[in-house]
């Protein structure tokens, strides 16, 4: 009887460990995606109303998507989205305004 209880307890602990490992892996990938998105966003610099991007090789397996939206107030928003396969993505936005201010930041997480 004791061996059955031990086996069931051990199986439960193994499944708990597996769930913790899986959640940590998802968290780590999402954190890595946000870090890479931040690195890509920092490569943009305002120049005559158009962003300049330093071309660098993306990290293996990661896809980067850039989007630029103009607003009526003389500002434009750069959005960077970084994904790796079907894992959670990282998305960062930065506003550039005619006065050179980049004080508006937005950060969002999206699990796909």
pLDDT at 102: 54
What are the tokens at 57? 């090789």
Per-residue model confidence as pLDDT tens digits over 58-102: 567 888 888 888 876 777 888 888 888 877 788 888 887 776 555
pTM reported for the whole predicted model? 0.61
What are the tokens at 27? 């968290």
Q: Where are the beta strands (DSSP E) in 5-104?
A: 44-47, 50-53, 63-70, 75-83, 89-97
Per-residue model confidence as pLDDT tens digits over 39-54: 888 777 654 445 555 5
pLDDT at 12: 93
């Amino acid at each position: 009887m004791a061996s059955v209880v031990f086996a069931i307890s051990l199986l439960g602990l193994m499944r708990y460990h597996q769930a913790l490992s899986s959640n940590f892996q998802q968290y780590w990938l999402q954190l890595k995606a946000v870090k890479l998105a931040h690195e890509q966003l920092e490569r943009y610099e305002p120049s005559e109303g158009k962003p300049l991007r330093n071309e660098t090789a993306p990290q293996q397996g990661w896809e980067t998507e850039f989007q630029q939206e103009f607003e009526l107030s003389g500002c434009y928003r750069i959005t960077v989205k970084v994904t790796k396969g079907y894992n959670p993505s990282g998305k960062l936005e930065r506003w550039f305004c005619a006065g050179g201010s980049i004080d508006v930041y937005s950060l969002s997480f999206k699990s796909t």
